[in-house]
Amino acid sequence: MHESNTSLYVKDYGAGSRVFKSNNRQVKDILQHNCSTEKDTQLLYRLCAYFKVNQVLELGTSLGIATHAMATARPSAQITSIEGSPEVYEFAKKTLKKKGLKNVSFVKSTFKDFFEKQISKPVIYDLIYIDGHHDGEATLSYFENILDKVHNDTVVVFDDIYWSIDMTRAWNQICKHTQVTASIDCFDLGMVFFRKEQLQERFYIKL
């Protein structure tokens, strides 16, 4: 992907891009500016392996970099990845299929539509990765939507918690939520936990 000049039309449902002035973007540029970093991808891999996750929800497939890491960390797990931009969805799906991954279900949908359609399905996730939209109000809405889809040991990972003042405000509000008992601030990523045996506490880690 570092060398790919393939152009994709990115249909952006979120806060937009600070880098791109056009919705037609080359894969190598999307990889550089819109995908999980190597460090963050390795962290997601380790989280999935350490917690032995079986059900994972990813909001925001993009090129599938993080998807690939989580799927390979736990080949026995079911990864459900949501992407709203049609060309990006098709590219990621085709690319990861070539890698032989059989434990990923790709869903072409906005996050809002996905939750509306899934409302009656009793799926409980072990890890949820929210990487898209980058809007504080929307992020809070997605958080509220997942609360009935988590259990005591679920971990929820938020990307770009300092992307804007709005996103940081949403992150702080999530950390104070009555159902959140512990949060970990890694600056670019934030994690929250729901373990009832844990007193509410906030941790800050410099990776």
Residue written as tokens 């040991």?
153
Highest mean pLDDT, choosing among 1-10, 46-55, 116-125: 46-55
Distance, CA of 87 to CA of 93 (rounded, Å): 10
pLDDT band (50, 70, 90) for residue 30: low
Distance, CA of 161 to CA of 8 (rounded, Å): 26
The torsion defined by the Cα of 100, 108, 159 and 149, in degrees rounded to 10, comes to -100
Q: In the predicted model, is pLDDT for residue 56 greater than 90?
A: yes
- Complete domains list, the chain, with CATH: 35-204 (3.40.50.150)
pLDDT band (50, 70, 90) for residue 108: very high
pLDDT band (50, 70, 90) for residue 117: confident
Q: In the predicted model, is pLDDT for residue 3 greater than 80?
A: no
Closest by CA to 187, choosing from 166, 170, 203, is 203
Rounded to 5 degrees, what are φ and ψ at 114? -60, -45
**pTM exceeding the 0.85 threshold for the entire prediction:** yes
First to last CA, the chain: 26
Q: In what order do the strands lie in the sheet with 55-59?
A: 104-108, 78-83, 55-59, 125-130, 150-159, 189-193, 182-185, 201-204
Distance, CA of 82 to CA of 165 (rounded, Å): 25
Q: What is the predicted pLDDT for the residue at 53?
A: 98
Compute the average pLDDT of residues 43-62. 96
Please, what sign has the CA dihedral across residues 137, 15, 10, 188? Answer: negative
Compute the average pLDDT of residues 80-108. 92
Q: What is the predicted pLDDT for the residue at 1?
A: 73
**Do the Cβ atoms of 103 and 134 come closer than 8 Å?**
no
The tokens describing 157, both together, are: 């990972």
